[in-house]
Structure 1
């Protein structure tokens, strides 16, 4: 359920590169032309443009964009132009750095990518940083966060629909017992959340709800100020209904006193080709305002135009 609008007949990568070259030439940059091309090409097409650009002009397109653009517009264009696995590796690495550290971003990448996608992220991370993602996450996190995040980023879940109902019932019972005992960091909870397939988890959590009369996240809300519990609830949300998780990230990014451009950019760049349609629906339902209107009210200029193009807004 992507929202990316790709034209019916796409120019050849060579033509796109020539147009981009023109956009960089002379005084000032033609930002509208950059948006017109890059915001309307899918991942495979963007990769071809990068390869063709390097082969034709002997230069790295990302470096050229970096030279020509600035601030939030630059960030969204660069993130978008990266291959999805490279992009996630970059975001994950940023999330382990001191100034930009974010357990949330690590959890989000680990829980909302397919097993194969997450495997490709680990591969891209290894290639780019000469270290493993697990090693960096383990080094930069501590305590319960480390206990949860390392197995999350290293997981390779079964992706199919097969569900074992007996297992779902017994694991719902285990989760309920541990949560009732306030043993939120118990290895059983972490093992279930970090190894089971999404279909299996859904079955377990549905049974939890039916058997114990409460959704699991309600039972995990005992202490709203506990950061570990907050990320545990977000993990469950990401694994079971990612669009609701992303709707909340966008809502918080847009509705705060100053916009959180980092979060806004990240969600739009990483979900435009995945489930942005569902996220837009969830956003509209929750906020009674269409997402494109919320973005327009909170951003401006080329940055606004690029975001609107990526979420499939007709005029952008």
Structure 2
């Protein structure tokens, strides 16, 4: 393990560059800033923040936070430096309470693309910072079928035990089929029950088993007329859990000009080191160009575009 003096020596220049950039608005070392923030992993960024506090007597994240309202780049850096669970908790809070209406797209994105263990930690961070329960807030602010489904997904994080049972997945896939086919209407209660009592990883196994048994995706079954609005909304959730790369790629393709910059930032920051390359491939296969091209168009090949492209690469 590296000693504190070795850590100080390794990251002291990084701290100096960051201090000059965010405290003195010194723009002469933009390339250095990009390299620092894109070449380091989360653990290294945490060490840099610890050293920064000891050298300058202030919190780097707070410093960046104080400038992010008037500086889009600072806002992106804030997301990059934030601990992932705290970052996701803050994004959820803003999506639920940040404006007049709930940003369902962001809520779905976070709840459905995170492994259950991560989602459980996000919920803990949410409760710690905002002194309220995420499931309660979702039930309070969301209406219709999405409320039931998203609250169920939020509850499912409690069910993570580190294992996936293929035999249980087979049984549950049969239960889903019966819930879909046994009557004139689908059995929404049974479907919600399964969604709330199985981890994200187990749900993926259920959807795989369903296709093996019945020859088509569960999400395809939800297209039938008797599924109605519930089926349409559940299909969105199922697809985002089962194929997060395709879900993010579709979001980027379908986002309006006003929203696409925000979606790009959020996607690249939160999926960096996870599946951003898969998302890029899924996007390119449908759009005919890469996320790098989209970034340069939407950010006019600016410093921000360079930063995000480096994270993509």
TM over 0.5: yes
- Aligned positions of 1:56-135 closer than 5 A: 56-68=55-67, 70-97=70-97, 98-99=99-100, 101-135=102-136
**1:240 Cα deviation from its structure 2 partner:** 1.7
Whole-angstrom distance in 2 between the partners of 1:239 and 1:194:
13
Cα distance, 1:277 vs structure 2 = 1.7
Task: Determine which structure has greater relative contact order: mean sequence separation of CA pairs < 8 Å that are 6+ residues apart, divided by chain length.
Answer: 1
Match runs of 1:304-315 below 5 Å: 304-312=305-313
**Preserved contact between residue 23 and residue 33 of structure 1 (Cα < 8 Å):** no
Are the aligned partners of 1:108 and 1:235 in contact in 2 as well (CA < 8 Å)? no
Which one of 10, 13, 22 corresponds to residue 12 of structure 1? 10
Of residues 188, 191, 212, the one that matches 2:190 is 188
Deviation string for 1:12-69 (max 9, x for gaps)?
Answer: 2333212211223546544443222112221111222222222221222123224455
**Partner Cα distance (1:185, 1:57) in 2:** 60
**Which of 152, 162, 165 matches 1:162?**
165
Alignment check: 8 A CA contact 1:89 1:124 kept: yes
RMSD, matched Cα = 2.9
Aligned to 1:287: 287
Note the C-alpha offset of 1:202: 3.8
2:251 corresponds to which of 246, 249, 252: 249
1:140 and 2:138 correspond: no
Structure 1 residue 294, shift from structure 2 partner: 2.2
Task: Compute the displacement of 1:100 (Å).
Answer: 6.1
1:54–1:10 distance in 2 versus 1, CA, 3 Å:
closer
Cα distance, 1:198 vs. partner? Answer: 4.5
SS in structure 2 at match of 1:160: coil
Unaligned runs of 5+ in 2: 1-6
Which structure has more helix as a fraction of its residues?
Answer: 2
Distance 1:115-1:218 versus aligned 2 partners, 3 A rule: closer
Residues 228-243 of structure 1 mapped to structure 2, 5 A cutoff: 228-243=230-245
Moved more, 68-77 or 112-121: 68-77
The offset of 1:227, in angstroms, is 6.2
The CA deviation at 1:305 is 1.4
- The TM-score normalised by the length of structure 2 is 0.83
Question: Is contact 1:244–1:279 with CA below 8 Å preserved after alignment?
Answer: yes
Question: Separation in 1 of the partners of 2:45 and 2:72?
Answer: 20
Tell me if the contact between 2:73 and 2:304 (Cα under 8 Å) persists in the aligned partners. yes
Whether the 8 Å CA contact 1:171–1:192 is kept in 2: the answer is yes
CA contact (8 A) 2:88 2:122 kept: yes
- Name the residue aligned to 2:3: none
The answer to whether the 8 Å contact 1:168/1:200 transfers is: yes
Following the alignment from structure 1 to structure 2, what is the Cα–Cα distance between the partners of residues 189 and 309? 42
- 2:40 is matched with which residue? 41
Alignment of 1:17-28 (within 5 A): 17-24=15-22, 26=24, 28=26
- Count of aligned pairs between the two proteins: 299
Residues 73-93 of structure 1, C-alpha deviations (whole Å, 9 max, x = no match): 232221111110111011111
User: More displaced, 116-125 or 209-218?
Assistant: 209-218
Structure 1: segments with no counterpart, 5+ residues: 1-8
Contact map agreement 1:115 1:159 (CA 8 A) in 2: no
Q: Give yes or no for contact 1:220–1:233 (8 Å, CA) kept in 2.
A: yes
CA contact (8 A) 1:23 1:29 kept: yes
Q: Secondary structure at the match of 2:165?
A: coil
* Residue number in structure 2 paired with 1:218: 220
Q: Secondary structure at the match of 1:96?
A: helix
* Structure 1 Cα separation of the partners of residues 187 and 106 of structure 2: 20
User: Retained in 2: the 8 A contact 1:110–1:153?
Assistant: yes
